[in-house]
Amino acid sequence: MKNQISILGAGLIGSLLGIYLKKKGLETSIYEKRKDWRQNHTSSEGRSINMALSFRGWKALEKAGVKEKVEPFTIPMYGRRIHDEHGTTYCQPYGKDNEAIYSISRNVLNGILLDEAEKAGVNMYFEHTVEDVDVHQNVVTFSLPDQEKKQLDASVIIGSDGAFSSLRNAMQRQTRFNFSQQYISHGYKELTIPATDEGEFAMDPNALHIWPRGNFMLIALPNIDKSFTCTLFLPFEDSIVSFDKIRDDLDVIHIFQTYFNDAYQLMPNLTSEYSTNPTASLVNTECYPWTVNSCLLIGDAAHAIVPFYGQGMNCGFEDCYILNGLIEKYGTFSWDLVFEKFQKSRKPDTDAICQLAMDNFKEMSDSVSDPKFLIRKKIEAKLHELFPQEWVPLYSMVTFSDIKYSEAYAQGKIQAAVLDKVMSDPLIAQKWKNLDYHAILNKVETSKAV
Ligand SMILES: Cc1cc2nc3c(=O)[nH]c(=O)nc-3n(C[C@H](O)[C@H](O)[C@H](O)COP(=O)(O)OP(=O)(O)OC[C@H]3O[C@@H](n4cnc5c(N)ncnc54)[C@H](O)[C@@H]3O)c2cc1C
């Protein structure tokens, strides 16, 4: 009884966690409100249908023994391919050598994880919507199809039921539970660039394409069927280009011809997709504590992150990896202890990545097209090449390493302050190749010592 685990939500994080826990020999069940969608390949509720998987995610998948299952369905993206307003493109590498982030369909990845969870022996219950959780008695109330209700006495409950978690709602009724939710000014809509008539990719498949336009942008990630999923990020209102200004097909065409004309030429279904696909909002949520009694929040339920660092899923996968490590260390005699250790050690890191993701919108939508930003990136790349251990760019720390997010954040701040000074030289565009790179690195060391 003590080691019967009930996971709420069979999204990316719940299904990976199910694999981890079952492999520990724990009796594990997952309850999911949706029908089993693996047979009919519809998109997951208008959410982004492909995602960027990076180092932390891979590490967690490998530890769970599913990396090899996932690999064939991914496409490496070695850099950002920037599209300017005249249709000229250029590539900014993400890291060095073969460092890449990997595009994968959300549904395919979720399906693989669910299949593996089932194979491992996890009990799956679809069409079980959590209505409420009594976090003191450990009782979950579900609604089933046909208005039926069901109650479950659970010994350990883990909520991986996403940004609008029902377990978190129940926890919020406890005293001294902190919760904040911020909808950002921008929303998003998904669109498609299909494969060409010859069945080929219409653009370079090994890059994440960005059309940065200051306060708004379009991005595109490749799919294994040779299409691209595009995501249009716009403010909802109060801007020259915003969702509320686009009222009909002509407005859609006008915006795309004006700002994204090269993409527009590759989007035969633009207007119909624009009107059919939902406009979704983006939310950042933070809460604490993550555990009450024998209940725990994980993934987006504990920390929903805006997508501008491509880390929400990677961070949630890393949550599973870390929780698994704590179970290995402390055993399952005291879930309270494991959950307490988990929230204490992990919260500063998820706070850091939430903040970094909020900050990164400006970089993606604006700075990437600024010539000074390109020089800054080149200086950083040079520093990293000369001092691979001592200077690691913030993006690389977050994306290509498992340095704690909070350490990456702190180190990134120091490096940014040093680079701000370097970039303040009005002649930097001429001088950057011949800078005293040792002196720049020393400034970081001095700042750390202060
Ligand atoms: C536009 C966009 C792009 C993104 N791109 C990236 C990216 O490139 N890389 C990256 O790392 N992250 C990305 N993310 C973030 C990523 O999608 C999330 O962090 C990730 O999906 C979180 O997984 P989860 O399992 O915690 O929650 P979810 O994926 O939301 O899954 C929650 C599950 O719980 C179920 N559920 C909800 N309520 C109930 C209930 N009451 N009862 C039972 N079941 C319930 C849901 O049906 C769902 O299956 C992106 C997010 C967005 C919005």
Which of 30, 48, 152 to mutate to test ligand 1, by most ligand atoms within 8 A of the CB atom?
Answer: 48
Q: Which H or E run contains 430?
A: helix 428-431
Neighbours of 373 (CB within 10 A): 15
Q: What is the pLDDT of residue 450?
A: 64
Q: Report the sign of the C-alpha dihedral through residues 428, 430, 431, 432, in that order.
A: positive
208 touches ligand 1 (CB under 6 Å) = no
410 CB contacts (<8 Å, ≥6 apart)? none
190 touches ligand 1 (CB under 6 Å) = no
Positions of the chain with pLDDT under 50: 1, 43-47
Compute, in angstroms, the gap from residue 228 CA to the centroid of ligand 1: 20
CB 84 within 8 A of CB 263: no
List helix spans (H) across 305-392.
Answer: 312-330, 335-365, 371-386
**pLDDT (tens digit per residue) in 2-22:** 679 999 999 999 999 999 999
CB 249 within 8 A of CB 256: no
Q: What is the pLDDT of residue 44?
A: 46
Lookup result for tokens 């340095």: 403
Q: How far is 401 from 195, CA to CA, in rounded Å? A: 33
Q: What is the pLDDT of residue 1?
A: 46
Nearest protein Cα to ligand 1, atom 41: 130
Residue at 45: amino acid letter: E
Neighbours of 364 (CB within 10 A): 19
Q: What is the pLDDT of residue 364?
A: 81
Q: What is the pLDDT of residue 446?
A: 83
Take residue 303 and report the two structure tokens written for it.
Answer: 């920390």
User: What is the fold of 4-73+106-181+283-360?
Assistant: FAD/NAD(P)-binding domain (3.50.50)
312 touches ligand 1 (CB under 6 Å) = yes
Work out whether strand 207-212 and strand 280-288 pair parallel, antiparallel, or are unpaired: unpaired
Domain boundaries, the chain: 4-73+106-181+283-360, 184-281, 370-449
Q: What is the pLDDT of residue 43?
A: 45
Work out whether strand 75-77 and strand 101-105 pair parallel, antiparallel, or are unpaired: antiparallel
Compute, in angstroms, the gap from residue 11 CA to the centroid of ligand 1: 6
